[in-house]
Structure 1
């Protein structure tokens, strides 16, 4: 094994274990390789520029901005109010409201942490006041936030589409069935928990209240229709849809709901920029890392080794899922997709896995990682809202994790499950 290969593998892993931020760890490894291999220093600058020039990357900050605008504009509250009129009278109804509201909000924000924050801030205190265990309330908000990467438009699918050079629109479709399946599983868990804990049911809403809640929430409910209808109607691309989503959210928040003033915009923009800057920094710097990985043939050699030693495709997929699950529990999910992308694609190609199906497997893994202890992003959002420790939320979330893993198995081993909605 060459010194360059050691730096790109063991060197990078060592920096991550020491606690270096991923973007900085990648940059340091690239600089070390440039020095050792006597490569022109301008290589890093060139690759950072090249890695940040994709038109599709614009969708990430724009969808994050749209989510921030809609949260500030009160659309998340409208979604919760409408969902509440539909299911609050059922056993576990208030917890079910969290899942249903998150399902719709996911089609607005495309982000798991944003969905957890927007819906959890409303529903965790409400569930605790209604008699739900606070740890369960936090865990259901965290696991409902996981729908963000699966329900289109999804930031995770945008990133994987860029990495794998696949159709983002088709990748979006591959996440719908897994996403709705996880949502259904979470609804069952809500029912079982409320029944076991004896949580009282809410008062049933009459048709008049349902109609009034729908009227108040129609602009929030219309947003996914506008965005997804435009994408699949061929009116605009996913990136252009992100811009349309921002404009739509701004019009509703400022002119219709009137909860946003122009003085609020700098704060909203700064919050979305902080989040998207971390994501785009990793992607941009990882472009150089990916080129060096390709030059060293690490991905190709590993894929050849795996194909030589593991003959069965199902076994290779099982190994990838286990490895991905463990990595996602301790490593940033976006970094995994960007850094390991060439390796994962090489393995999928070697075993003849459909690239859209493989993308669904990857993003479902990413979604689970958002809620998996110890460093799932959504866990920390849920902890901040609930005031609970990591251990308290982690103990309560394992039934939801098992549901997600079951859906991952269906996604992995039944290609038609993920590809059901693909155009023929």
Structure 2
């Protein structure tokens, strides 16, 4: 390999090992590789700017803002209250409430950290009060949180759609069944946990109580219908849907529920801007890095190496899954997507994989990484919400990681799981 290729691989890995933030590690290794390749360093700035100019990326700040506004406006609390009336009487019902509420919230925010924070802040104290271990409750909030990037709309699917030049609407559909499979698996774990620890069931909600909770949460329940119905009804694009969702959350929180005021808007907006800035900084830095990786012809070389391991696609897919799971556990999923995008697209083409199926495999892998020790983003959000150490949460998280692994195997080896709804478009 050339000196630049060594810098982009070993140099980048070394900076991560010593604890340098992803975006800075990407930028510094790209600069160093440009210098040894005798390429004008202005190329990095140009590639960073061009990497942020996709119209589809506008969906990210608006979905983040929509999630923050809905949390501040009380929509997440109402979703939890409605879910509670549906399943609280079942063994493990309170844990199932967290999962069902996460599914509803996922259909609004598209973000694992946002879903974990919104559901965890409400459900962790309540579950602990009802006899659940705080570590289990936190692990459940984290595991349920990663339903956010699977069920549409999804920020990671937006990013992968831009990288792989695939339809974002079709990618959204690819996440529906995986998201619901994960939800069902987590609810089964809640049932088993409650039976093992003899958690008492609550009284069944009556019809009037269910209707009252549904009426109180009608604006929250209407958000997914508006966003997803608009996308698949052809009314607006996924990017425009993000803007509509943010506007909807603003109007409901400010004028209908009145749970925040105009004075609080700068704080909520600044919070969303911080999250967006982190994501976009990684995307732009990774764009320059990814361009130089492509310039060095690394993606086709690595793709040939992967596909040359075996003539059987299932073996190659197993290797890719193992690689992505390890990378997802130590690297931000956005950076991983941009860096490995060329390699994975090349490998998928050589194996004859449907590009939407490949997108579902990649996104599911890296989404699981957000909940995986040691560096999962959602894991740190759960630790911040609960006040527990990452180590203690990780011990309670392993059964949920097993469920995630089973869902990943289904996504990888049963194309129907990700392609079942493609006929709708």
Same fold (TM over 0.5): yes
Q: Which residue of 2 aligns with 1:121?
A: 121
How far apart are the structure 1 equivalents of 2:391 and 2:31? 38
Q: Which residue of 2 aligns with 1:29?
A: 29
User: TM-score, structure 2 length as denominator?
Assistant: 0.98
Could you give the per-residue CA deviations for residues 214-270 of structure 1, whole angstroms, max 9, x where no partner exists? 000010000000000000011100000000001000010011001110001000011
Structure 1 residue 292: Cα displacement: 1.1
Structure 1 residue 308: Cα displacement: 2.7
Q: Secondary structure at the match of 1:423?
A: helix
Structure 1 residue 283: Cα displacement: 0.9
Could you give the per-residue CA deviations for residues 64-109 of structure 1, whole angstroms, max 9, x where no partner exists? 0000000000000000000001111111111100000000000111
Of the structure 1 ranges 334-343 and 64-73, higher mean CA displacement relative to structure 2 is found in 334-343
How far apart are the structure 2 equivalents of 1:171 and 1:206? 39
Q: Is the CA contact (8 Å cut-off) linking 2:313 and 2:351 kept in structure 1?
A: yes
Q: Secondary structure at the match of 2:423?
A: coil
How far apart are the structure 2 equivalents of 1:308 and 1:194? 47
Q: Secondary structure at the match of 1:29?
A: helix
How far apart are the structure 1 equivalents of 2:307 and 2:68? 45
Structure 1 residue 374: Cα displacement: 1.1
How far apart are the structure 1 equivalents of 2:277 and 2:179? 27
Q: Is the CA contact (8 Å cut-off) linking 2:84 and 2:94 kept in structure 1?
A: yes
Structure 1 residue 286: Cα displacement: 1.5
How do 1:105-254 and structure 2 match up within 5 A?
Answer: 105-254=105-254
How far apart are the structure 1 equivalents of 2:127 and 2:288? 47
Q: Structure 2: 5+ residue runs without aligned partners?
A: none
Matched, 1:3 2:3: yes
Could you give the per-residue CA deviations for residues 7-34 of structure 1, whole angstroms, max 9, x where no partner exists? 1111111111111111111111111122
Q: Is the CA contact (8 Å cut-off) linking 2:178 and 2:407 kept in structure 1?
A: yes
Structure 1 residue 305: Cα displacement: 2.4
Q: Which residue of 1 aligns with 2:316?
A: 316
Structure 1 residue 323: Cα displacement: 1.0
Q: Which residue of 1 aligns with 2:389?
A: 389
Structure 1 residue 126: Cα displacement: 0.1
How far apart are the structure 2 equivalents of 1:255 and 1:308? 60
Q: Is the CA contact (8 Å cut-off) linking 2:309 and 2:316 kept in structure 1?
A: no
How far apart are the structure 1 equivalents of 2:393 and 2:332? 19
How far apart are the structure 2 equivalents of 1:190 and 1:279? 33
Q: Which residue of 1 aligns with 2:414?
A: 414
Structure 1 residue 307: Cα displacement: 2.5
RMSD: 0.9
Q: Secondary structure at the match of 1:199?
A: coil
Structure 1 residue 154: Cα displacement: 0.2
How far apart are the structure 2 equivalents of 1:308 and 1:213? 56
Q: Secondary structure at the match of 2:357?
A: helix
Structure 1 residue 285: Cα displacement: 1.8
How do 1:311-390 and structure 2 match up within 5 A?
Answer: 311-390=311-390
User: TM-score, structure 1 length as denominator?
Assistant: 0.99
The runs of at least 4 consecutive aligned structure 1 residues that moved more than 6 Å come to none
Q: Which residue of 2 aligns with 1:48?
A: 48
Structure 1 residue 309: Cα displacement: 3.1
Q: Secondary structure at the match of 1:132?
A: coil
Q: Structure 1: 5+ residue runs without aligned partners?
A: none
Could you give the per-residue CA deviations for residues 153-196 of structure 1, whole angstroms, max 9, x where no partner exists? 00010000011000000000000000000000001000010011
How far apart are the structure 2 equivalents of 1:302 and 1:41? 26
How far apart are the structure 2 equivalents of 1:306 and 1:196? 44
